[in-house]
Amino acid sequence: MPKQATMTPKKSSLPDMQPRQHSSQPTPILAFCLVVLSLSCIVGCIAIVYTARGRPVASWIPYAPSVQPAVLLSLLSNISGTIQKYVCAEGITIVWWRTLRKGTTLADLHYIWSKGKGTGIIDTLRALFHHKAWTYWAIFVFLVTSAVSVADGPLLQRSITPVLKNFTYEYEETLMGLNKIITDGWVGRVDNTAPAKLLGDGKLDRLLQDWHMNRSTTTYVGCSDGNCSGSIAAAGIYVEHVSSEVNWVDLTAPENANATLFSISFNRSLDATGSPVLLMTHSYMSYADNKCNSSINVEKRTFRTAVVKYDVVSQHNNLRLNRTHWPQMLSNVSSPGDLPAQDNTPAGPLAALEYFGYYYLMSFGYSTGRSEDGGYDVEPALGTLVNVYWDAEFDKWENDSCPRRWKNATEDLIWNLHEVMFWIAWYSTTGNKSSEYPIWKQTVAQLAYNAELITLWLASGMMLLCLFAILSLFWGFWELDREVSLSPIETGRALAETILSRPEGTAEMDAKELIEAIGDKKVKLD
């Protein structure tokens, strides 16, 4: 190390360095205006994400939906980052001059100016372990600004991403109104010797075939893509709960050798007021222990003709009932054709439902007694629903004596009757009546923007904290008598006398050598 020299002020040939009156104000107006602009960019990023959140990609903003939010976020974050770097440089300038006015060393001024970047590894470490708090803070703020300028862009772009989402739109569509009363005779005529006492018309048989083959009714309801949903008032049925019972049966008892384990039946009759009703009885074995003590559940429901409101769904103009909502009864309407009558009398809709139940739904399954493996089995005597509603998920190894049990088919059976009744109303409709419920809803799958708000607020918080940290560098700017800069002309004039008064400093030395030679030199601007 060079020999340390004592401070010996010399007469300088430079102009007088005493403070003078200046016409300019010390307030960094441009820097503060840029701070407001940077803050506006941050607020704009937040507004963009919240505006695009949950909206379709094709129409997230009017007039310019093709401009993606990620592009705007990238633009605003770059503008904000550039501003913050500039304002940070202005703040470091103020820290440099304030430190000089209060008195410091040349090394401190060098490290503030270089933002901690030394001329080598050792020089950089010296900056990190220097003893001036404002030197540490200026270096820290610069490092934070640099890090945030790199991280905020990717975080903001990640905060908004396109995903597939269902959108529901309401619109008005006039659909053909359906019959609220089914004309007696449309389904066929009374035949007291036939099953269900009905000689079905060909139209009814074709309708039931379409239902069984899952063919949809076709109509136009105004939506070419997606799902449309709405409501239609039409002829239907009103369901009443009669009873739900559980009977315990010992299948090993001789009298239960041919016990009914599963059954579905329909019977049309008159209630106490003389009105026609259709009774559905459904029994099924829901449980049996290892000793074949089983529980037989019996569900009974009655059906009456009525005017109901159906919730329907149209997919590609194929109309179906919406099974998420039960039809709602609007009024009770009895049909004379469902009363007991002589042959060849026009029949009503309840007769058609009994006819449908007999040929498509009625099923019976009986116990066949002990099987080869020592348990009990069932023989379907009629219909296919015995096998359809058999609980195939039941683990027979948990109960190898009576391994069979069934699921409750009541809800499905009721829906089947609703669907057939709706189809009868549809097939029998003629004329140009209008539906009473013109408001429809269309569900369309579209790309929409999904916002990750945690990522958004993380990026925004980083940008805001960085901005406030930069603003802290401007503390005490009012102590200066003018707007300052780190121009060599301005800083050289302020330091010339001090540097030139040190004999160790020469023009041939680089920055590292100068810091070692005169870095500890005390300097203060009076």
Cβ distance 367 to 259 under 8 Å? Answer: yes
Max mean pLDDT among 137-141, 429-433, 508-512 falls in: 137-141
423: part of which helix (H) or strand (E)?
helix 410-427
Is 120 buried (19+), middle (13-18) or exposed (0-12) by CB count in 10 A?
A: exposed
Quote the CA–CA distance of 169 and 488 in Å, as a whole number: 66
pTM of the model: 0.65
Cβ distance 28 to 473 under 8 Å? Answer: no
C-alpha of 87 from chain center: 40
Cβ distance 410 to 242 under 8 Å? Answer: no
Residues of the chain with pLDDT > 90: what percent? 37
Q: Which of 275, 291, 206 is nearest to 238 (CA)?
A: 275
Given this model, what pLDDT does residue 11 score? 45
Quote the CA–CA distance of 378 and 263 in Å, as a whole number: 12
Q: Which of 262, 301, 248, 285 is nearest to 410 (CA)?
A: 301
Rounded average pLDDT over 495-499: 68
Q: In the chain, where are the structural domains located? A: 29-163+448-523, 174-437
Extract the tokens encoding 65. Answer: 């939906």
For 385-398, what is each residue's pLDDT tens digit? 998 998 877 655 55
For 439-479, what is each residue's pLDDT tens digit? 778 777 889 999 999 999 999 999 999 999 999 888 888 88
Given this model, what pLDDT does residue 221 score? 60
Chain mean pLDDT for the chain = 81
pLDDT reading at 41 higher than 90: yes
Q: Which of 500, 526, 509 is nearest to 7 (CA)?
A: 500
Quote the CA–CA distance of 286 and 394 in Å, as a whole number: 11
Extract the tokens encoding 259. Answer: 């016990």
pLDDT band at 116 (very low <50, low <70, confident <90, very high): low
Extract the tokens encoding 59. Answer: 């129409």
Residues 6+ apart with CB under 8 A from 204: 186, 187, 188, 352, 355, 424
Rounded average pLDDT over 26-37: 88
For 401-449, what is each residue's pLDDT tens digit? 676 789 999 999 999 999 999 999 988 886 555 666 667 787 778 899 9
Rounded average pLDDT over 220-229: 66
pLDDT reading at 488 higher than 60: yes
Rounded average pLDDT over 473-493: 81
Phi-psi sector, 302: left (phi>0), alpha (psi -120 to 50), beta: beta
Q: 22 phi and psi, to 5 degrees?
A: -120, 150
Q: 160 phi and psi, to 5 degrees?
A: -140, 120
For 345-372, what is each residue's pLDDT tens digit? 999 999 999 999 999 999 998 887 665 5
Helices (H), 11-102: 29-52, 69-102
For 239-258, what is each residue's pLDDT tens digit? 999 999 999 988 888 888 78
Extract the tokens encoding 465. Answer: 């904290």
For 161-189, what is each residue's pLDDT tens digit? 999 988 887 777 666 678 889 999 999 99
Rounded average pLDDT over 132-136: 71
**What amino acid occupies position 517?**
A
Q: Which of 297, 293, 267 is nearest to 282 (CA)?
A: 297
Max mean pLDDT among 8-17, 268-277, 307-316 falls in: 268-277
Q: Which of 40, 73, 69 is nearest to 52 (CA)?
A: 69
Tell me how far apart the 2 most distant CA atoms of the chain are, in Å.
137
Q: Quick one: three-class SS letters along 468-505?
A: HHHHHCCCCHHHCCCCCCCCHHHHHHHHHHHHHCCCCC
Q: Residue length, the chain?
A: 526
Cβ distance 277 to 270 under 8 Å? Answer: yes
Rounded average pLDDT over 146-166: 89
Find tokens 């009298």 and name the residue.
Answer: 255
Max mean pLDDT among 19-33, 66-80, 501-515 falls in: 66-80
pLDDT band at 60 (very low <50, low <70, confident <90, very high): confident
Q: Please, what is the end-to-end C-alpha distance for the chain in angstroms? A: 30
pLDDT band at 78 (very low <50, low <70, confident <90, very high): very high
Given this model, what pLDDT does residue 375 score? 55
Extract the tokens encoding 336. Answer: 């004379």
Given this model, what pLDDT does residue 460 score? 93
Quote the CA–CA distance of 350 and 342 in Å, as a whole number: 16
pLDDT band at 7 (very low <50, low <70, confident <90, very high): very low
